[in-house]
Structure 1
């Protein structure tokens, strides 16, 4: 078995961690810088952090409910919608289907009718409008989608092209919040467990993906994933997650998911609530594609 450190294979398998070379040391230092940014700590604490131990990812459990805030007060990181958006920008378009505005997204709309199984998850996103002083963005439409517990995406994956589960739209209430009933997604090769979402100005705007205000992703905390992936149906996720970290992920790796790491409460029996505050700025152009 190859020896690893902080989720990365050691380039010199027969040597100690301190003897892995300058390149490995720089990667380790940069990884700790990302972690400090995710925790909201300044550069002056870097020396202390480098001398002490600690976890690569923040704690996943919270003692109180409410919405996750990520780190900082700036705009949510803009990310790719990926290859399976289902918004008409890459093939099929679920947003043109009657019934797509719904809170429970576990079952397909229309003829498919399949229901995604897995550990229950309530997803809560609170959208704030930075162009309006950070006020709740009431009435905005939020489209979410994610993979099932086997790592497949409805409308795209083999055997799922006739299904559209785990996709849906909700309109933000007076507090800017949308809530979806779903299941915890899997971890598939090369990607940290996540949920995609797009923010539109209002319900009428979802008819055209070009109207999107922001495109981003929610990152799930590691200890929650470790707990969920011990459940039946998630077996493959254990192996995939063991090969990843937030810092090595192709999407979250630039800052460890600082503005996208959700606050999570709950348990396997009663289900988890995954919450994040999403700050958007209508004065900027989204870059995700």
Structure 2
């Protein structure tokens, strides 16, 4: 814009100079034409030249003023242009900084968007997994609820059965106690699923067994240490016949049910088969455990019968 104004000022200055030259030429030509007609032309010509020179000087002064004014205007325009350029440069710097800041913000937002997208994807997968877990847990809960209902029904049924069995047990216990009382009155004692009877008289081994058979039982068979101890308390210090004998084969001891002796509680040195000793006697010696002996079957002793229930 400043270059165009400057060119216009130069154009106007050249135009004024051309006008002045043309006026001067015209004046000189007019003076030359008049000089040949009027004798006093020299004086007038000199006056005319002074006027022209004065006019030319004044025109130069005016042109110089116009040039200075144009230069001042041009300077002012340059200052304004420089100011405008400076302002535009500052604004450009500000805009560049804002652009960089916006670019950084855009990059950060893009990264955050990507991160949010990743988080959204992860949350979607977790939601799907939780939904699956929820479905599985719901199915398990329903299954457990069904199992709980079934178990509750079974518990109630078992409780009813338990109540019934308890009542039956109490009834059987009462019947057993009554039966034991009646058996006790008849001389029978209950122990470990068997009934035991102790005689109040003495007989030989064969007669003792016959008496047991008449009572629906047989001579006692001792199969354990617990039963050995029980018989020891039952005999009350008396020697008693048992269901043990080697009458069939000497030295082969068998019980009255035909089973062979496995565990015996013989007194030391027994059985010795001294003479005709083929029957088993309980209570020989003072040892409460090892107190069996072989004795002649025709001797008379108390006896114990056993009846398995």
Same topology, TM > 0.5: no
TM-score range, shorter chain: under 0.3
Bigger strand share:
1
Q: TM-score, normalised by structure 1?
A: 0.22
Bigger Rg, which one: 2
Q: TM-score, normalised by structure 2?
A: 0.21
